[in-house]
Structure 1
Amino acid sequence: MPNVRAQPTLRRRRLGEALRTYRREAGMSLDRATEAMGWDESKLSRIENAKARMPPQYIGKLLKLYGVTDPEIVTALIDLARDAGKQGWWRAYGDVVGLSYKDYLTLESDAESTHIYASGLIPGLLQTGAYAREIIAALAMTHTTEEVMALAEVRKMRQAILTRPDKPMKLWAVIHEAALHQRFVSYPSLMREQLRHLLDMADLPSITIQIMPLNSTPHPGMLGLFEVVRFPQPWPTVVNIENIQGGYFVEGAEDAKLFEMAFERIVAAALSVDDSRETITHLLERNTT
């Protein structure tokens, strides 16, 4: 069996892109930068294209060459270079977790905050295990029962970022009320458990939950689910858009700004946090009777 070259990690790709951007902003050619660093002619090119590792100890010198001295940027790139080759906990699930999903899990684990609008379902970071299994089984139509169970486990393990002791990720979710009315014939108590879980999660100081009412005014979220994922400086905001085939990223600054503006309008159209809690509580009480 032929050897298969490992895919560069997302962190390595982001590091390479950042270094290329700073070099170009400095007006420096690859040849000139490589010569100044005393490297062989292809080393920097391979680093920028995520085909070679960037030793963390050289980050400061390279950035200084580019005129980048901001300590926050230097520290951020050193940290990224140090972590660039690390594989996440999801590696244990093999090919069940696709490449694009692995990339998203990497982004999510590095994120400072995420803003989510969900129109037809509870966001993955707020799902119970039972809800996750039912939803994944319904959407992942080509997966086996074993794969569905594995993906549900991955989804639950993702949620650790919301309660990690060192800087839990901040989550702001706006959920359409229609998602709270779902019914699961084979598991009548499932939605009660899910609604109760939403209330518990809303108690966490790093989590904000709003409900988009059934009688809301028109808003940009009517076009579907999206997530605005933010990072510490200098990393740019990334938008994740999902459909039945999976997710894809929008990374351009202007595009990300458009989605941030859209989320602000969605927040304005949704119920307040207190009214949202009352709505969830009311539906839970009605579901219990």
Structure 2
Amino acid sequence: MSLGDTPAVARRRVRLAIRDARNAKGYTQGQVADAMDWSLSKVMRIESGEVTISPNDLRPLLNYLGIRDRVLIESLVQSAKASKQRRWWDESRFQGMITPAMRQLIGLEAEATIIRHFYPLYFPGVLQTREYARGIMDQYSHELTPKERDARIEARIRRKQGLLQREPRPRVFTLLDESVLLRTMGIGRVNLGQQLNEVAEAIQDGWLSARIHPFDNAYPGVGEFELLYLEADDVAHAVLYRESLVFDEIVDNAHRIVQHRALWDRMWNAAISKEQSTQMIKTRAEELLRSDP
């Protein structure tokens, strides 16, 4: 299956085509809902990527939006069909347990060719060990039920497994604040050491590059974010994911993506070198694994 036919990419292509065509016509989402005899929430969820649209719904919608090109219509219909293929994150155990934005992230992450992270507090989910993920989720015992926490931990492990099974693997560039090497997340020093060891092994394997944003550098004043590139390394093929506490969002706005990429580039270039960062990770892991739990 070509990259353009994969479910997450196909869903994104359809929803952006719908949104762009609606904007070109000057229609509001409410006007589309009225014309199609749908609820407003259905239109909003289709455009946000929370749900897919069936080919039977898509054809009259494209007609209403003024799209007459038969080749384009058929291409979008095929993408709508491709977007409905079920993947592991569609399993019932994850329904309602992970956010709509996280479901989109998982799909895009599974198909991205390049991923850039900035994480100032902890390691990115796709790099976490089970124990480390449990330590993070336990911080949200008041916001999430045990079932939700377990599902999110399992999703993180499945994401990592999926990435490791891909051929070729995506190129992953992770920028971490220096404090991430020190914060045990309530899991103990040995478990943090094992987490650091796994990251060091990923760097050694060649698919992960990591740099440390040192304490001496100014803090950028933003939370964690990810930039995912589905084909070429440019904004036209990029998606931004942002997370704060238990809330998250997928951003398709080109201006905001460009802003975050520029910030990421500045921080990456000002960070400790890849070689020295890798040595810091290894040294910290050795120090932790020599200590008592």
Name the TM-score class by shorter chain.
0.7 to 0.9
Q: Is the 1:23–1:66 contact (alpha carbons within 8 Å) kept by the matching residues of 2?
A: no
The answer to whether 1:241 aligns with 2:242 is yes
Calculate the TM-score normalised by the size of structure 1: 0.74
1:164 match: 165
Any idea what the Cα deviations from partners look like across 1:55-77, whole Å, max 9, x if unmatched? 8xx9xxx9x964989xxxx98x6
Give the Cα–Cα distance (whole angstroms) in 2 for the partners of residues 188 and 117 of structure 1: 23
1:89 match: 88
1:103 match: 104
Structure 2 residue matching 1:110: 3-state secondary structure: coil
Structure 1 residues 112 and 79, CA gap change in structure 2 (3 angstroms): farther
Any idea what the Cα deviations from partners look like across 1:249-278, whole Å, max 9, x if unmatched? 221112111111011001012111101111
Structure 1 residue matching 2:137: 3-state secondary structure: helix
AA in 2 matched with 1:229: L
Give the Cα–Cα distance (whole angstroms) in 1 for the partners of residues 124 and 145 of structure 2: 22
1:134 match: 135
Structure 1 residues 203 and 86, CA gap change in structure 2 (3 angstroms): same
Calculate the TM-score normalised by the size of structure 2: 0.73
Give the Cα–Cα distance (whole angstroms) in 2 for the partners of residues 268 and 219 of structure 1: 14
1:17 match: 16
AA in 2 matched with 1:228: L
Gaps of 5+ in 2: 1-7, 28-34, 47-51
Q: Is the 1:118–1:224 contact (alpha carbons within 8 Å) kept by the matching residues of 2?
A: yes
Larger radius of gyration: 1
Structure 1 residues 81 and 267, CA gap change in structure 2 (3 angstroms): same
Q: After TM superposition, which residue ranges in structure 1, 4 or more long, deviate above 6 angstroms?
A: 22-25
Give the Cα–Cα distance (whole angstroms) in 1 for the partners of residues 165 and 225 of structure 2: 24
Cα RMSD of the aligned pairs, angstroms, is 3.9
Give the Cα–Cα distance (whole angstroms) in 2 for the partners of residues 140 and 42 of structure 1: 42
Gaps of 5+ in 1: 1-8, 30-40
Any idea what the Cα deviations from partners look like across 1:136-158, whole Å, max 9, x if unmatched? 11135322334322211111101
AA in 2 matched with 1:126: L
**Within-5 A mapping of 1:175-254:** 175-183=176-184, 187-215=188-216, 217-218=217-218, 220=220, 222-232=221-231, 236-254=237-255
2:154 match: 153
Q: Is the 1:230–1:238 contact (alpha carbons within 8 Å) kept by the matching residues of 2?
A: yes
AA in 1 matched with 2:125: G
